[in-house]
């Protein structure tokens, strides 16, 4: 499934010219990202499974160098906080262009900006790492092959308070 992905951070303009509904104009076009949570568990003799506190990885964003790059580097260098941010993933095909995954981030910090390039590629790649104080992970269910929406499946977690909610 082909798709479009965007990163939105308050005060940083990207180069997206997207005009679909809802539009993502001036957001940051991204080509990939990764994020996850782990909670190591162990089973010892005579005990049930024991879990520790969850560990959330940083968000690793892959994008091309664009007009947002200097502002992202400045944020990493100065420790600038962003009140909120958002990653949006949407289907590129079809009339509805369903936004099937929206991850809202609170209290965002850019922790790293790295660049890589080679003579065989047209664009310089940029890897942006960010962390946050809370996440709201919402998946929009897809009813059938037409891509119609089916309902939201939502998980929120406050990393500072160590509280979660599943909706």
pLDDT digits (tens, 9 = 90+) for 38-78: 988 777 666 666 667 889 999 999 999 999 999 999 999 99
Q: What is the CATH number of the domain that holds 89?
A: 2.30.110.20
138: phi then psi, degrees, rounded to nearest 5: -120, 120
What is the per-residue pLDDT for 148?
Answer: 63
Residue 159 domain-assigned (yes or no):
yes
Beta pairing, strands 55-56 & 37-38? antiparallel
Q: Which residues contact 15 (CB under 8 A, 6 or more apart)?
A: 26, 28, 29, 66, 67, 68
> Mean pLDDT for the chain?
89
How confident is the model over 68-121, as pLDDT tens digits? 999 999 999 999 999 999 999 998 776 677 899 999 999 999 999 999 988 887
Q: What is the pLDDT of residue 25?
A: 94
Predicted model pTM: 0.87
The radius of gyration of the chain from alpha carbons, rounded to an integer in Å, stands at 18
Give me the domain span that covers residue 30: 4-37+55-164
Asked if residue 43 belongs to a domain, the reply is no
Q: Does the residue 31 lie in any domain?
A: yes
Copy the structure tokens of residue 4. Answer: 């479009």
Residue 43: predicted pLDDT: 72
**Distance set, CA 124 to CA 51, 65, 66, 149, 165 (Å):** 42, 6, 9, 36, 39
């Amino acid at each position: 499934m082909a798709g479009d992905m965007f990163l939105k951070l308050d005060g940083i303009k990207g180069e997206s010219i997207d005009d679909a509904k809802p539009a993502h104009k001036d957001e940051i076009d991204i080509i990939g990202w990764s994020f996850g949570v782990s909670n190591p568990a162990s089973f010892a003799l005579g005990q049930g499974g024991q879990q520790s506190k969850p560990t959330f990885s940083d968000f690793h964003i892959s994008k091309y160098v664009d007009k947002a790059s200097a502002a992202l580097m400045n944020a990493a260098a100065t420790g600038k906080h962003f009140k909120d941010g958002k990653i949006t993933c949407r289907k590129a095909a079809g009339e509805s262009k369903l936004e099937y995954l929206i991850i809202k981030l609170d209290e965002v910090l850019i922790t790293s900006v790295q660049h890589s390039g080679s003579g065989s590629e047209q664009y310089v790649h940029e890897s942006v790492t960010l962390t946050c104080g809370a996440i709201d992970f919402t998946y929009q269910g897809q009813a059938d092959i037409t891509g119609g929406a089916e309902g939201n499946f939502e998980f929120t977690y406050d990393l500072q308070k160590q509280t979660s909610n599943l909706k």
